A and B are shown apart, each in its own frame.
Chain A
Amino acid sequence: MIHAPHVDWFALSTVLALLGASGVALLGAVLVPRPAQRAFAATVAALGFTGGIVASVWLYVASASGHRVVANAFYRDRWTALAQAIVCAVGLATTLLSVEHMPGWSRDADRSRRDDHVAEFFALLLASAAGMAFFVGAANLMTLFLSLEWLSIALYVMCAIDYDREGSLEAGLKYLVVGSFGSATLLFGSALVYGATGSIGFPEIAHAVSARGLSHDVLLVLGLALVIAGLAFKSSAAPFHMWTPDVYQGAPTPVTAFMSSATKVAALVLALRVLATAFPQEARLWTWAFAGIAVASLTIGNLAALVQRDVKRILAYSSISHAGFVLIGLSAGTALGGRALMYYLIPYAAMAFGSFAVVAARERELGVPVTLDTIAGFGWERPFLGVAMWFFLFGLAGLPLTGGFVGKFYVLAAAYDHGWAWLVIVGVLATLVSLYYYLGIVRAMYMRPSDELRVGAAVAGGSPPREALLHVSVGLALAVAVGSLFAVEPLVDLARHAASSLPF
């Protein structure tokens, strides 16, 4: 006889809100007449994400003492709740950004707005966010793998949803192939860890390792290495980043914005949880491994970005280098590192999302890919978006205009605190290199007149109308990015309480 476990529905409320909204949006694709589908699905998505934010905030407040629920498969604690809140906020902003999204925006295609698949798009967005909300709370290797697949499959489809466009299809396929490889690596690693320890729950693994003296067990170490590789795939850290530039460039820009912020948050937050909870005895191994991955990401991400012309590709490489920065905090493997990681992700998510949102605006305006040539003069034509982009780019570069500055300071402090002064120097050098390409975009936007624009023929039909919702989403991202510079104390307190759920 099977005993059904007790289910703490409240702990799952964020996931359920998102999943429920996803179901409603999907029903809308069938039941709601086509002209109303866009409005209907977007409203449902916005409500779903708002519900998710409310639920996760409530969970944060009500989960001061973290514990596992649902047969020890899911964590109900502040680390989960805070990450869920960030994911839902990014999801809400993505919804605003996607309302006016036109599938097949390329110049050759029919530029009139098309409404096919819009309800499905929002349903998938909600579903992948629900997957992330579950992923960050995963408490054993099984829920970890399941939720990883759950969020990934939704993302694969979203990448390829502009199937008229070759780039989108290519992105979807590439992400599917490489992403499946990453998942398989993670699964194989999980199997080895299970084989070595006989348990799948994170604390149980740690317990088994210390009880049976397995810390140098070959199976376990190999399994850990594969788990690390699998997680690095999802957080697009070098040398597991190969898919990132192509997928970020090819995917519809709102999807890229969502992936570069929410997916990265989920993957990095979970990575620290797994390592700190399940493998504390191997801390020496994984701190060094992640320090190495961080250095590789910073080097490869920044150097490769220098030679790109396409703005989405530049930002993709920049996101690789930022994964490197966050991993500096992670590799410290301390409470300070945990705080640094969580704090860093808040302005980072806002800036990564915001910069892709601005790219989306330019893309819709011109109907061509946004390169350093086609973005020329944009800052003067669209003052608000230009200034916002200016803030995001300087912020990503770590200049003291946004919380990105404090975040960088925090991860470097965590690295030094761990005794790794050399990692501080690496971080500093990487920042210096990154300035060149961030400033390259600013230079193109403000310092080159738009008559240099090499678009070829004039854009047919003129500029599309101003998109109020897109502006709102960029404005929210800007507010978070700049606000986090001033409100460091409250945000760090949030991160501290969240990180206290982890066993440091």
Chain B
Amino acid sequence: MTISSVTSLLIWLPIGAALVVWVLPLSRYATGSLAVLVSLVEVGLWIEQAARFDFDAGGLQFSQRASWFSDLHVSYHVGEYGFSLWLVGLTVVAMAASVGYGFWVGRERPRAYFGLQLFLTGATVGVFVAQDLLLFYAFFEAMLIPLYVLVGVWGGAGRLGATIKLLIYTMAGSLFMLAAIVVYGLKEGTFDLVDGPTSASRWLFLGFMLAFLVKAPLFPFHGWLPDAYREAPAEVTAVLSGVIAKAGTYGMLRIAIPTFPEPTSYYRTTVLALAAATLVYGSVLAFRSPDFRGVVAYSSLAQSGLITLGLFSGTGLGYDGAVLQMVAHGLISASLFLIAGAVERRTATGELRLLGGMARGRPALATLLVTVGIIALAVPGSASFAGEFLILAGSYQRAWWWASIGAGAIVLAAMYMLRLISAVLHEARGPAVADEAMDVRPGELALVVPLVACLLALSAWPAGISHHSFAGDAPSGVVQGQFK
């Protein structure tokens, strides 16, 4: 186990930068540049960390521990497992693109905006590296605060309703997690995730799961999702669906499943049924959705179902596939929402019936959307194909019908993605599409292309993640044995 403060730096550098941005009266340009610079430094720090990570040894690395309050045995304990490393990578990359996008479109009130974005970066990294329950909870909640303001201030016309739903839904889930944390921690005498013993309490498991099911989200806990994804600024939706929603599935993987093995198997069928229902329901709604963002939003819902299917299959293949799919889908949905933002800026609408024919004269836009769309619908050879295949294989080991539902949903994915591509790019020119509407500008390309490049790299070598999430190369055994 290596001791390192890089993990802490990844959390506190952006939060510190947020304070600087709030306090110093910098110009719009300076503020944006500073925010972009800090986001890039985050990416650099992460790359440096990934290069030093010992994937063969596994276990917790780059960890750091200090007492927060010893009275109740709560500590500041951070560190990374293989899969946390990948999720942190997803966070810093997607946040860098999001911050860059905000700079590029010139958001109003730059100091407040960039400060909040940086704060969000730090809090989200914190969620993925926290190894103490209370610390995890603190970051889990802290993510919501900047998000609430980002949606509420810079969002679309229906933003006020969307923020209320977002906050009340997610807090309702996570406050029960707080109750569960209090009970677990006092009963076991520690809040530490690494030292903490497993528990057989079904109530506690349900408390944790409620928070994660709302965050992921899974049907029927997804009430906040459509409004929030539609009303938030495009780049905020990109991180909300790409990264922050992953905190839900990450929580299942890191906390719910390993800490509560007995309740996990007791409720396995229930959760798998919810996941399958989410998968089908999300896919159908995505196919029926009248607007660009709606399609991507409901497809994210479906993907959450798929990831949960992999996690609760309880097989090595399922875990590997779920981690790969979390990262791949994070990158896909971040790219798609940024492209949605680009389309909306040109046409002032996201409604598919008003769009169409955008491919003509806009080759870069067409190439980007088709590339990401093809990866999203999981053509063989793509990163998400690898992820979905592993998840299906894992769930097949559990029972064949789970795999067949999952396979059916992949057909639906092809339907909604192709519908989206054709409704935006092909068909007759839509009434909202003016001839003067420009192709994607170099600035936008510079933001989306790196995300797509990551996706292509993952497509070329999905084992980079799926074989490097849990210790060793063999994706077998139960998850608790692997990283505890």
* CB of A96 to closest CB in B, whole Å: 21
Q: Verify A425–B144 contact, CB threshold 8 A.
A: no
Which of B179-187, B234-242, B349-357 touches A? Answer: B179-187
Within 8 Å of chain B (Cβ to Cβ): is A439?
yes
Within 8 Å of chain A (Cβ to Cβ): is B167?
yes
Known: A399-B142, A435-B167, A489-B70. A424 touches B183 (CB 8 A): yes
Q: Verify B168–A432 contact, CB threshold 8 A.
A: yes
Q: Verify B171–A413 contact, CB threshold 8 A.
A: no
Task: Pick the contact of A412: B142, B148, B179 (CB < 8 A).
Answer: B179
* CB of A452 to closest CB in B, whole Å: 12
Within 8 Å of chain A (Cβ to Cβ): is B457?
no
- The residue on A at minimum CB distance from B144 is A399
Q: Give the secondary structure class of B's interface.
A: helix
Within 8 Å of chain B (Cβ to Cβ): is A304?
no
What is the bound-complex CA distance between A399 and B144, given in angstroms? 9
Known: A394-B145, A399-B141, A435-B171. A413 touches B72 (CB 8 A): yes
- The residue on A at minimum CB distance from B152 is A447
Task: Pick the contact of B148: A406, A417, A439 (CB < 8 A).
Answer: A439
Residues of B within 8 A of A435 (CB): 167-168, 171
Residues of B within 8 A of A432 (CB): 168, 171-172, 175
Q: Verify B69–A492 contact, CB threshold 8 A.
A: yes
Which of B158-166, B254-262, B274-282, B413-421 touches A? Answer: B158-166
What is the bound-complex CA distance between A442 and B164, given in angstroms? 11
Known: A446-B152, A488-B69, A496-B71. A428 touches B178 (CB 8 A): yes
Of A410, A428, A439, A488, most B-chain CB atoms within 10 Å:
A428
With an 8 Å Cβ cutoff, the count of chain B residues facing the other chain is: 37
Known: A405-B138, A447-B159. A413 touches B186 (CB 8 A): yes
Within 8 Å of chain A (Cβ to Cβ): is B109?
yes
List residues of A (425-448) whose CB comes within 8 Å of B's CBs: 425, 428-429, 431-432, 435-436, 439, 442-443, 446-447
Within 8 Å of chain B (Cβ to Cβ): is A380?
yes
What is the bound-complex CA distance between A256 and B134, given in angstroms? 34
Q: Verify A428–B183 contact, CB threshold 8 A.
A: no
Known: A400-B142, A424-B183, A443-B163. A488 touches B175 (CB 8 A): no
Within 8 Å of chain B (Cβ to Cβ): is A471?
no
Residues of B within 8 A of A413 (CB): 72, 182, 185-186
Residues of A within 8 A of B139 (CB): 400
Residues of B within 8 A of A446 (CB): 149, 152-153
Q: Verify A400–B179 contact, CB threshold 8 A.
A: no
Counting chain A residues whose Cβ lies within 8 A of the other chain, the interface size class is: 20 to 34
Residues of A within 8 A of B175 (CB): 428-429, 431-432
- The residue on A at minimum CB distance from B177 is A428
- The residue on B at minimum CB distance from A397 is B171
- The residue on B at minimum CB distance from A405 is B138
Residues of B within 8 A of A406 (CB): 69
- The residue on A at minimum CB distance from B173 is A432
* CB of A432 to closest CB in B, whole Å: 5
Q: Verify B171–A339 contact, CB threshold 8 A.
A: no
Within 8 Å of chain B (Cβ to Cβ): is A387?
yes
Residues of A within 8 A of B176 (CB): 428
List residues of B (109-151) whose CB comes within 8 Å of A's CBs: 109, 112, 134, 137-139, 141-142, 144-145, 148-149
List residues of A (464-500) whose CB comes within 8 Å of B's CBs: 488-489, 492, 496
Within 8 Å of chain B (Cβ to Cβ): is A401?
yes
Task: Pick the contact of B71: A339, A416, A442 (CB < 8 A).
Answer: A339
Within 8 Å of chain B (Cβ to Cβ): is A64?
no
Q: Mark A22-35, 1 if CB is under 8 A from B, else 0.
A: 00000000000000
Task: Pick the contact of B186: A394, A416, A425, A429 (CB < 8 A).
Answer: A416
Task: Pick the contact of B145: A401, A424, A496 (CB < 8 A).
Answer: A401
Q: Verify A443–B152 contact, CB threshold 8 A.
A: yes
Q: Verify A409–B22 contact, CB threshold 8 A.
A: no
List residues of B (375-399) whose CB comes within 8 Å of A's CBs: none
Task: Pick the contact of B168: A339, A400, A436 (CB < 8 A).
Answer: A436
Known: A447-B152, A492-B69. A439 touches B167 (CB 8 A): yes
What is the bound-complex CA distance between A274 and B167, given in angstroms? 41
- The residue on B at minimum CB distance from A447 is B152
* CB of B245 to closest CB in A, whole Å: 19
Within 8 Å of chain B (Cβ to Cβ): is A453?
no
- The residue on B at minimum CB distance from A394 is B145
- The residue on B at minimum CB distance from A387 is B22
* CB of B191 to closest CB in A, whole Å: 10
Residues of A within 8 A of B164 (CB): 436, 439
Within 8 Å of chain A (Cβ to Cβ): is B68?
yes
* CB of B45 to closest CB in A, whole Å: 23
* CB of A266 to closest CB in B, whole Å: 25
Within 8 Å of chain B (Cβ to Cβ): is A36?
no
Within 8 Å of chain B (Cβ to Cβ): is A459?
no
- The residue on B at minimum CB distance from A440 is B164
Q: Verify B142–A401 contact, CB threshold 8 A.
A: yes
* CB of A132 to closest CB in B, whole Å: 27
Task: Pick the contact of B179: A425, A436, A447 (CB < 8 A).
Answer: A425
Q: Verify B182–A424 contact, CB threshold 8 A.
A: yes
Of B112, B159, B179, B182, most A-chain CB atoms within 10 Å:
B182
10 interchain pairs, CB-CB under 8 A? A399-B141, A399-B144, A405-B141, A409-B178, A413-B72, A428-B179, A429-B175, A446-B152, A447-B159, A489-B69
Contacts A400-B142, A401-B142 known; list 11 others, CB within 8 Å: A339-B71, A383-B112, A399-B141, A401-B145, A409-B134, A410-B72, A412-B178, A413-B186, A416-B182, A425-B179, A489-B71
Shortest Cβ-Cβ A-B pairs, 10 listed? A400-B138, A488-B69, A428-B175, A447-B152, A428-B179, A412-B182, A424-B179, A492-B71, A489-B69, A400-B141
